[in-house]
Amino acid sequence: MTVKNLQEKVNQWIDQYGIRYFDERTNALLLMEEVGEFSRLIARKYGEQSFKSPEQGNKVDDNIKEEMADIIFVLTCLANQMQIDLTLAIKENFIKKTNRDKSRHKSNPKLNN
């Protein structure tokens, strides 16, 4: 699936099941909620926190995958609402990062151990 296809599919889903997009403020808050849920899982799998029960740890990889998809879905909703072509935005972002960082990371002694 391309990013363009994703934007189209999200729009179709909203039309069919969601009635309409939530307003941008609500979706921005929902995005933060999803990022928080993702972060909580990362803190428990890779960080120093533990799960409340071992069963929660058994599903962590599936839950991380689900939260990533939720983040992408809400972010795509926001892009659609704001008429942002994510394919173009991503291409422009790669150009910006390449121009800014083309030698920065290679010359960073902290990364070349």
The C-alpha atoms of residue 12 and residue 97 are separated, in whole angstroms, by: 32
Residue 38 lies in a domain: yes
Residue 11 lies in a domain: yes
**pLDDT class for 112, splitting at 50, 70, 90?**
confident
The C-alpha atoms of residue 113 and residue 107 are separated, in whole angstroms, by: 11
Average confidence (pLDDT) over 21-47: 98
Domain that holds residue 81: 3-86
Residue 92 lies in a domain: no
pLDDT of res. 55:
87
Number of domains, the chain: 1
**pLDDT class for 85, splitting at 50, 70, 90?**
very high
Residue 107 lies in a domain: no
| pTM listed for this prediction | 0.91
The C-alpha atoms of residue 16 and residue 12 are separated, in whole angstroms, by: 6
The C-alpha atoms of residue 51 and residue 65 are separated, in whole angstroms, by: 17
